[in-house]
């Protein structure tokens, strides 16, 4: 496992990824997280990126690992993602590229949408639920 392997394991743990679940990684970059989740957690993982070169690289990595039945990288805008049912959605590499120091500078977040605790501050380990709206403070 490379130096970022432990970080990908933290992501798998935080999203409670289970074998066979469908994972969508928006802004997947080079597809590292997609390949990792398919290989190490048995997820059916799909990554989406705008960059054709990144998609080619990620697809090549997936093919070399023999994961083409469990992982794929699509070149498209996130607004073109097919309306399918996903068990888990991540935006890890996209968030890192938008703001490299984001994780270190994150002060807190507030969550709306569950109806249970609208506007409540949540910790870094909060697992986002379907229909949650996130307000981020850095």
Please give the domain boundaries of the chain with CATH numbers for all domains.
1-78+85-98 (3.40.50.150), 100-138 (no CATH)
Q: How far apart are the C-alpha atoms of 23 and 17, rounded to whole Å?
A: 8
Please write the tens of the pLDDT for every residue from 84-115.
899 999 887 666 666 566 666 777 778 877 66
DSSP code, position 78? G
Backbone angle region of 131, left / alpha / beta, with phi > 0 → left and psi within -120 to 50 → alpha: left
Which has more confidence, 131 or 87?
A: 87
The residue written with tokens 């070169």 in the block is 53
CB contact at 8 A, 50 and 71:
no
What's the confidence (pLDDT) of residue 137? 74
The CA angle 17-28-75, to the nearest 5 degrees, is 125
pTM, rounded to two decimals = 0.70
52 pLDDT band, cuts 50/70/90, is very high
């Amino acid at each position: 496992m490379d130096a970022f392997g432990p970080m990908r394991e933290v992501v798998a743990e935080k999203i409670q990824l289970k074998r066979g679940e469908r994972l969508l990684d928006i802004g997947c970059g080079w597809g590292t997280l997609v390949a990792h989740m398919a290989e190490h957690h048995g997820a059916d993982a799909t990554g989406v990126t705008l960059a054709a070169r990144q998609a080619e690289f990620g697809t090549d990595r997936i093919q070399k690992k023999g994961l083409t039945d469990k992982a794929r990288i699509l070149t498209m805008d996130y607004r073109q993602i097919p309306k399918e049912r996903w068990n888990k959605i991540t935006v890890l590499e996209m968030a890192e590229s938008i703001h490299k120091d984001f994780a270190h500078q994150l002060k807190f977040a507030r969550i709306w949408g569950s109806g249970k605790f609208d506007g409540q501050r949540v910790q870094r380990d909060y697992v986002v639920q379907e229909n949650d709206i996130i307000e981020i403070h850095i």
